[in-house]
Structure 1
Amino acid sequence: MDFAAVLLAAGASRRLGQPKQLLRRDGESLLRRGARLALASGAARTVVVLGARAERLGAELDGLAAQSVLNPDWQDGMASSLATAARALAGFDGAVLVLACDQPALELAHLLALRDGAAAAGCAATEHAGALGVPALISAQLWREATGVRGDRGFGAALAQAPDGAVWRLLAPELELDLDTPADVDAAIARGWLDPL
């Protein structure tokens, strides 16, 4: 299956009070780890969308075969990052794996399962308390709509409205923990998904 990968890493981590992209797991920043896992998934291209602190964060990607792009409108929410990625991938006509760098439990096995699931169903997404979210492998047709989403929205609504059997679901409760608050960081450290601060 021909697909690209997009790592969303543009946010300012305001509620957390520190850049979540620079939190570490096994000595590696979550930003670099996310890009490395995206590359290892078999993606034909990997695009990392940066915004807040772009210059500082970009150094974390040194030596990786990932393309970093700047979302100048990062404060407008996730949709602006998806639109930025869509522009960077102009001309690419395959599916797109979308992932975020703030899921500390993310493993390569999750991404490979999504890849295999999408090969059969067309799309694949991670189930979060009944809703569909990232990481997700979006069909080429749905990805073309990326420039039309607005605000802090992704593809969840479109995936939820897809016909039965059109979206393979990854059941991975560990991916429900993302890093928005200091309590989330404490929980991830307790589970061994983040290095102690």
Structure 2
Amino acid sequence: MNVGIIILAAGASSRMGAPKQLLLIDGKTLIRRVCETAMDTTCFPIVTVLGANRNIIKPELERMPITVIDNPQWEKGMSSSIKMGLVGAYMTIKEIEAAIFLTVDMPYVNVELINNMIKKAKSDTNIEIVACKYENQIGIPVLFKRSLFNDLLELTGDEGAKKVVMRNKEKTALIDFPEGKLDLDTIDEYRKFVSNYHSN
């Protein structure tokens, strides 16, 4: 199964007060970390969607074997980035059979998790979605097979991929990812994570 990865990194990080894509963990920016994780998998293509602050973020991605897509309508919400990511993936390779959506602010996402999602998706032809489960939530990272790409393209405004997941629960498999409860939305969350990360 030909699986691509779409990294949604177009947001303005308004709650953080600075572009979270450029925050550092061990001297490496969040966006570079997630791109390198994606590159360590067998997934192709890897598409990164930029929007707010793209001019200062884009240099981080130079010379990486990924497709960078600008989303000029990023202010219209998450749906616009999902659409741009799918278009970018399809432009890169027409034969894409599934796509995994990632964000930059979940520092515990790793290659093993992504590989487990792909393995689960391949294990049963009735499975169209593989989503992660944490703290009674279902969310990203999430894999969608090609049959649901049109549903994603029909999202509007700030609707995220979760809407498509909720409409297709009977076709959804879940992966336990307790660390997914942490996403770095505020400067306090970031500082706390870095402090704990270095003390472990």
TM-score by length of 2: 0.89
CA distance in 2, matches of 1:136, 1:84: 17
CA distance in 1, matches of 2:17, 2:102: 22
Provide the residue aligned with 1:185 in structure 2.
190
User: What whole-Å deviation, never above 9, does each CA across 1:39-78 have from its counterpart, x for those lacking one?
Assistant: 2221120100000111211111122100100000111111
CA distance in 2, matches of 1:146, 1:163: 15
User: What whole-Å deviation, never above 9, does each CA across 1:166-195 have from its counterpart, x for those lacking one?
Assistant: 2221211211111111221123123318xx
CA distance in 1, matches of 2:24, 2:9: 15
Once the two structures are superposed, the pairs formed by residues 69-148 of structure 1 within 5 Å of their partners are: 69-90=69-90, 91-120=94-123, 121-148=127-154
- May I ask how many residue pairs the two structures share in their alignment? 193
Provide the residue aligned with 1:44 in structure 2.
44
CA distance in 2, matches of 1:78, 1:191: 30
Q: Which runs of 5+ in 2 are unaligned?
A: none
Is the 1:131–1:156 Cα contact (8 Å) retained in structure 2? no
Provide the residue aligned with 1:66 in structure 2.
66
Q: Which runs of 5+ in 1 are unaligned?
A: none
Provide the residue aligned with 1:150 in structure 2.
156
CA distance in 2, matches of 1:182, 1:44: 33
Following superposition, the deviation at residue 163 of structure 1 comes to 4.5
Is the 1:86–1:144 Cα contact (8 Å) retained in structure 2? no
| Letter paired with 2:131 | A
Is the 1:8–1:98 Cα contact (8 Å) retained in structure 2? yes
Provide the residue aligned with 1:56 in structure 2.
56
User: What whole-Å deviation, never above 9, does each CA across 1:68-127 have from its counterpart, x for those lacking one?
Assistant: 000001111110101111222333441001100111122211111111111123321111
Once the two structures are superposed, the pairs formed by residues 158-177 of structure 1 within 5 Å of their partners are: 158-164=164-170, 166-177=171-182
| Letter paired with 1:19 | P
User: What whole-Å deviation, never above 9, does each CA across 1:124-160 have from its counterpart, x for those lacking one?
Assistant: 1111333321111111111232221012222212212
CA distance in 2, matches of 1:182, 1:25: 13
Identity of aligned residues (%): 28
Superposed CA RMSD in Å reads 1.8
